[in-house]
Every structure is written in structure tokens, then in C-alpha cells.
Amino acid sequence: MRPASPASTQASAPASAQARAQTRVQAKSWRQLSRWLLFGEWRAHPLRTITAIAAIAVGISLGFAIHLINAAAFNEFTSAIKGLSGLADVQVNGTEPLFDEQIYPRLAERAGVAVASPVLEIDASVAGQHSALKILGVDPFRAGFIAPDLLGAPQPDKVFDTLADDALFLSLAAQQWLKVGVGANVALQAGTGTIQLRLAGPLQRARAGQRIGVMDLGAAQWRFNKLGKLSRVDLKLRDGVNRDAFKAQLARELERDFPGRFRVSQPNDEDQNSRNDGMSRAYRVNLTVLALVALFTGAFLVFSTQALSVIRRRSQFALLRVLGMERGRLLRQILLEGLSLGVAGSLIGVAAGYAMAAAALRFFGGDLGAGFFSGVRPEVQFTPVAAAVYFALGVGVALLGCAAPAFEAARAKPAVALKSGTEEAAMAGLAKVWPALLCIALAAALTQAPPILELPLFGYLSIALLLVGTIALMPRLAAIVFRYAHRRWSAATANRPNAPAVLSLTLARLANASSQAGIALGGVLSSFSLMVAMAIMVASFRVSLDDWLQQILPADLYARTASAGSTAGLRPPEQALIAALPGVATASFLRAKGVSLAPNRPNVALIARGGIDPADPGKSLAMVGATLAPAAFQGLKPVWISEAMVDLYGMKPGQRIELPLAGKLHPFIVAGVWRDYTRPTGSVQMQLNDYRAITGDMDASDSAIWLKPGTEAADFEKSLKQLPFGATLEVSVPSEIRAMSMKVFDRSFAITYLLEAIAIIIGLFGVAATFSAQTLARAKEFGMLRHIGVTRGQILGILAIEGGALTALGIATGFVLGWVISLILVFIINPQSFHWTMQLHLPWPLLATVAALLLTAAALTALLSGRQALSGGPIRAVREDW
């Protein structure tokens, strides 16, 4: 092989440099063309672009805001709980709220224990408040080694106030809540009486918003009648002691000597984290999914926006292909347009979400109305990882929305696409039935799948597949419906020469442009069906809650000593005075407390109620399913469990269970299941007489009073107030309790109501943008109609009827789809999330109002867009029609 000559090498160098320069020029030209196509489309159709960006931004902002709010509140709540444990290595808690302090010496003297700090936790009732004040009774000499933050800061001249029997130290948040200053008296309820404690000073350190109080352990036991009782013992281990081994061995010994009485844990172990997380996880996940409904709707708006844009520019893209644009470059260009929508929407959404979270935490707190994180004041923290996830989610949704139009435009043959009238063929691939049917079949199968981590993830996935499958069926459904309508109308007007031509033209167009009709219906269907589903779910829950309250509130009056807390109550003499009042037919009483049935779950509410008839518990409880007859109790005392106990603990009627009472495990039989809308972590009802016989606890927290015929509730309430302890009683009639409960419900579902409103607004804008784009893209068609003699008014009539007909089909289909989705929400997702069932209820007035708004919006948008499309002359409109 001969080496290249110097002359040839010198000649090739300028040629390669010229080629590289030409390549750079071409790349720069393609970039300029790409920017021109992108910004030109945005300038030509700003409403469509803004609507798609807004839909993505709204979904991202709501989802990101809810994530930030819940993350901040949960982290602050968890930190506040850990702060109460201080530097404890191991904690010993009881399965009941209180246990005998005789266990303390055994723990304090155990090998490996450096310090053992006894703690008494009291939820003190405060008159006139709907929340309790958490008071910790501690031994200052021991708590200082484990939880120094819990020590009070006495005044310089009263250093022994930490041991005083009337001294109370409050956090700053508690002082602000109670509106007291140092030296003032704090009135707390104990039974029907009042305890006056002196605010001796603040706590050393407490988290912002944390409402707690601390006092001497002995003083707390004496003042609140808890002598000899503790709530937990915090253990600080000696250096070199293995915490895990110590915990495991202590747990085994306590279970052996005191079966079912104690829980041994570490302050930051998995069980405690699971208990904290389990209280609100379902609520947080459901809110996040509902927030992403707007984002899901935005995906279909991006799809309709890009599909209509591709259809309108079909001949332009074909010309670019003829002039040398490669198929891959055209595909990237259209995907770039969708990507730009996603990037813009996601950036706006992340920024808006952070601002919304900061404002919500500043003005409303972190519980979002549900009350899971009351008593803390979290601050929003920007989390880059979560922001990146939500940003990627928005971009991914936008890319998915424009994928089908992009691939269709890239696959189109330039010779065919250059011709006018091929728009319907461009979307012919959307009319395939088998992918839609596959999605619907898979959605139906997933509804039977169990929850994962106690979350209905498969239920959510089935809803998404159902939406995708139904929307994919819309072109075929539109073709069937409008072709049938066209045939019927043609047959009916065959012998009527004066039949309205407007309706004939409208039906003919809809029957032969089903793919474009399907695109127009996508946004309507997604937004309306999801709004219908959420509206039915909320209405079903609200009506079911109201019916439930009517069933469980059968008495004429209800009286209690405090709205919250465990220190207020009615003692036996006071109960007897109430029952002996003139006009009382029957008086029953209730006692409630929490018990632990599993170390990794929150406490279960144990409710001892008088007046339960074992032969017919449905008179006082909202029973679900069959109940055991007294003959089947097998000599055991009966209890009635809530639906949550079935899901969380696997209990069922006829099963023998053991409950911790009075320091021992006592056997019971499950006599039935009842519906409980207030305690998603589970509750157990038992007869008050059985509870008193086991525990010896004769106090009661609530009373239900049935009046004799002829006795007025208002007059009897005056009699109650005249009792020696009447001033401490809160008396309510069932209607007042129901009204208050419904207010709490509405506050808890305020976010859901907001999401419903956003879904409606996005749907309205989606309808407007879609029909506007379709109308403006048909300027040539309208010009041809004008050219052959169709009047301007007739074309506007065609557009109004067409918009109304398409929207009506979308509403009808959306209602059916929304109803099916609501069945999944009501009967699958809700029970798997919150462990209760409800009845289905349809809010017809709301659904009819939203349907009317959509119909009106579609018709008006079609008319307004038609006027703009008809603004030019007919010859100008058709002169480019090849």
C-alpha cells in the first residue's frame, strides 16, 4: 500500500474542514428551525399551551405541597415524641395506659441499668377546650440524666418548685394556648372537680408548638388520683451493654412473669416508627393520590393538545420531511414540544407547591384538618429529592401524553400527509380496540388484589388503567354512536326535503371523524369522570356518617364532663344523681381507654358501654353482618369489634380473644362486628358491667339519657345544671352532636373539596382549549362550506350542536366511568385504607350542575372559536386546499 502523497494530504485537509463547517451550519439551522417551530406553535395557540402547562403545574403543586406538609408534620410529630424519651436506651410501657409501680424496683435494680426514670403520662382535661393538655409526672433527680429537656426552669428564688406539690411547668406553646403567665393558676379537671396548679416556670427546652406540662411524679399521682401508677419507665444502660440483647432478654422475662402486660421497646425502633406512621399513612397517601388527579387529567390535556397540533400541522411536517428533515429529528421535535410543556409545568408546580406548603403550615398547621398531628408546629423544609421526583413525574406525564402523536407524525408518509383531508387517517391508530379492552380487563382483575403495606396500591392502578382503557375506546364509541344517530336521522328525513341541513351536516361530520372526536372527548372524560368519582365517594361517606350517627346516638340527651382528656369523669355517686333526676327513663354510662394489642400498631380503643343488649346489639351499635346469639358465647363474656379489627388483627365473629385488663389477660368471645367511623386504628365494645366486674373501675366519662314521655330536653338540661357538679357538664342533644361531627367532616375533607373544584376547573378549561383548537384547525372546511352556499349562521349552528353533542357523549360516558371508579373508591380503596365500609350515595344536584357547566362551556367555546375561524373570507380559507 502506497503512502498518501503530501499533495493529496494537503487537499483533503480543507475538504474535511469544509465538511465540519457545513455540519455546524446545518446543526445551527436545525436548532433555529426547532426553536421557530416550538415558539411559533406557542404564539399561535397560547390558550391551549397555557391550559396544558397549568394542568401539569396544578397537579405537581398540589402533590408536592401535600407531601411537604405531611413530611414536615410527621417528622416534627415524631421528633416531639422522641424528645419526650430523651436519651433513654430502652422503654417499658404497659399494654394498658397505667400499670402498678411495683415493677419499678425490679427494673431499676436490674444488671446493666445505669438510671431508671419513672414517668406518669396524663391527658389532663381542660374546661372549655376541645384538646387535652399532656402532663408528664417525672422524678427530677432521675429524669435529669435521661431527658433533661423535660425539667422545669423554676424562678431563682424558688429553686425547690421542681418538687412542689402544686407546681406545674409548661412549654411556651401550652402557655400561649392556656393564656397564662408565670405565677398564674392553671385550672385542670379531675373527675367533676377542679385542680388548681401554679405555673412555676417554663420547660428547659420544648419543640415549637408542642403543648406539654411537667410536674413532680408524686404530686401528679396525688393530684390526679393515680397513686401507685406509672405509664412507662425509661432506662439508661451502662456503657458496654448491648441494647438489643438487653431489650430482647427483658421482654422475654416480663412476658414470662407478666403475660400480655408490658411492651419493651427502644425509643427509635421500628415498632414505634410503625405506630407513628400507621396513624396517618393511609390519609397521607390518599391525599397525595387525589392531588395527582389533576396531573393525570393534565396528561390527557397534553395528549389532546399535541394530537390536535400534529393533525393541524400534518402537511407542514410532511413538507419538512420532503425538504430533508429526518424521521428521527421530527420525532424529537414533537417530543421536545411535549417536554417543554412538562418542564414548564413542573417547574411552576414545584415552586408553587413549596409556597402553598409554607402558607398552609403557617396559617393552618400540619394536620390538614384530620387531627393526626395536632400539638406541633412544623416548618416546611425543601427536599431536593422529593422535588426531583415530582419534577420528573410532571415531565414524564407530559412525554407520555405526546408520545402517540409524535410517533404518528414520524411514521406518516410525506406524499400522503401533504394532501388535505387526511387528518382523520392520522389518528386511525387510536381506534384499535384490543389495547383498550386489555387495560379494562386488567383493571377489573386488579380490583381483586389485596393491599400492599395496608395501602390500596392495586386499587389506584386499576383506576388509572380503567381511565386509559375507556378513553382509548372513545373513538370507536363515538363512531358507533354518531353513525347510528346519522343513519336514524337520514332514515327519518329521507322523505322530508325541508329537513334541517345543519343537523345532517353535523351528524355526518361526527360519524366520519370519530378519531378527532375521541381526542376532543379525552379531556372531558378524564376530568368529569374523576370529579364524579370523588363527588360520589365524599357524598357516600358523608351520608353514611350521618346515618351512622343517627344509629349510635339513640338517646335524648348526652352529658359529659369534658370534650377531651382522661382526668374528667363521673364517679358512682354522681352517676346515681343523674339517673335519679325526675324525668329520666333510662341512663346508661360509658368508659373508654386505650389498650395495646400489638407492639407495632397504635392503641385500640376499649369502650365499655351500658345498655348493649347481647341478643340484639344493633339497637345501640351499627352492626355489620351476622351476630352471635348469647347461646353461642361458650361461657365467655362477649365483645363487639370494629371493622378495623377484622383487617388489622384478623379477628372474626366466634373467635376467642384476650384483652389486657387490670394487669392480666382476660378471655372474651367476638360476638359481632360493628361500623366505627371515628377510630381507624380499631375499637372494641364490651358491656359496662363486665368491665367493672374485671377492673373495679366504676367511673364513667359519658352518659346517655332517655327521657320519660312529656319531659322537655331544655327543661331537663336545666335540672342537670342545678346538680352540685352541673357546671362542669357539657350537655348535647343528638342533633347538635351530628351537626358538630359534620363540621369536623367537612373540615377534614376540605382538601378533597378543593381537589374536586380544581378537577372541574381543569375540565372546563380543557373543553375550551380542545374545542377551540379543533374549530380553528377546520378553517378550510368552513371556507368550503361557505363557498358552496352554507351561511355563517348555519356553520355556527353546526359548531354549537357538534360541541354540545360531543360534550354530552363525554358526560354520559364520564358519568358511567366515574360511577364505576366510585365503586372502586367506596368498596375497595376506602375499606383497604381506613378499614370501614359505607353506603353508596349519588349527589345528583352537584353532578347535574357540573354537567350543565361543561355543556355550556363547550357550546360557547365552539361558537366563539367559530366566529374567529369564519372571520376570513371563504376564498382565502380554501385557496391552500390542494
Q: How far is Cα 287 from Cα 755, in angstroms, rounded to an integer?
A: 9
Per the rule left: phi > 0, alpha: psi between -120 and 50, beta: everything else, 854 is alpha
Radius of gyration of the chain (CA): 35
CA atoms within 13 A on the CB side of 767: 35
Copy the grid coordinates of residue 230: 406509672
Question: Where are the chain's structural domains?
Answer: 41-86+274-421, 88-266, 427-554+734-882, 557-732
Q: How far is Cα 743 from Cα 831, in angstroms, rounded to an integer?
A: 23
pLDDT of residue 464: 87
- Give the residue ranges of the chain where pLDDT is below 50: 1, 880-882
Q: Which of 400, 546, 394 is nearest to 471 (CA)?
A: 400
- Which alpha helices (H) appear in 323-456, and where do they start and end? 327-363, 384-411, 414-417, 423-426, 434-446
Strand order in the sheet with 90-94: 185-190, 193-202, 167-170, 212-216, 133-138, 113-124, 232-237, 90-94, 262-265
**Residue type for position 480:** I
Q: How far is Cα 481 from Cα 511, in angstroms, rounded to an integer?
A: 8
Which H or E run includes 214? strand 212-216
Decide the pairing of beta strands 90-94 and 232-237.
antiparallel
Q: How far is CA 498 from CA 494, 502, 503, 505, 735, in A?
A: 10, 11, 12, 14, 63
Copy the grid coordinates of residue 201: 416556670
Residue bearing cell 373543553: 767
Q: How far is Cα 372 from Cα 8, in angstroms, rounded to an integer?
A: 82
Contact call for residues 659 and 575 (beta carbons, < 8 A): no
> What is the sign of the dihedral through the CA atoms of 360, 363, 368 and 374?
positive
Three-state DSSP class for residue 219: helix
Q: Quick one: 250 exposed, middle or buried, by C-beta within 10 A (0-12, 13-18, 19+)?
A: buried
pLDDT of residue 386: 87
Which H or E run includes 550? helix 514-552
CA atoms within 13 A on the CB side of 687: 17
Contact call for residues 863 and 796 (beta carbons, < 8 A): yes
Beta bridge partners of 90: 235
Residues 6+ apart with CB under 8 A from 431: 475, 476, 479, 514, 515, 518
Q: Quick one: 643 exposed, middle or buried, by C-beta within 10 A (0-12, 13-18, 19+)?
A: buried
Q: What is the four-CA torsion angle of 669, 675, 678, 679, rounded to 10 degrees?
A: 40
**Residue type for position 662:** A
Copy the grid coordinates of residue 769: 382549549
Three-state DSSP class for residue 881: coil
Residue bearing cell 338517646: 555
pLDDT of residue 579: 94
Q: Which of 230, 215, 216 is nearest to 101 (CA)?
A: 230
pLDDT of residue 479: 84
pLDDT of residue 196: 93
Q: How far is Cα 647 from Cα 769, in angstroms, rounded to an integer?
A: 46
Q: How far is Cα 848 from Cα 531, in angstroms, rounded to an integer?
A: 12
- φ and ψ at 621, to 5 degrees? -125, 150
Q: Quick one: 540 exposed, middle or buried, by C-beta within 10 A (0-12, 13-18, 19+)?
A: buried
DSSP state of 826: I
Q: How far is Cα 643 from Cα 672, in angstroms, rounded to an integer?
A: 10
> What is the sign of the dihedral through the CA atoms of 768, 773, 775 and 776?
positive
Q: How far is Cα 47 from Cα 768, in angstroms, rounded to an integer?
A: 9
Contact call for residues 211 and 168 (beta carbons, < 8 A): no
Q: How far is Cα 796 from Cα 787, in angstroms, rounded to an integer?
A: 15
Cα end-to-end span (Å), the chain: 59
Length of the chain: 882
- φ and ψ at 855, to 5 degrees? -60, -45
Q: What is the largest CA-CA distance in the chain?
A: 126
DSSP state of 829: I
Q: How far is Cα 122 from Cα 134, in angstroms, rounded to an integer?
A: 6
Contact call for residues 250 and 92 (beta carbons, < 8 A): yes
pLDDT of residue 833: 87
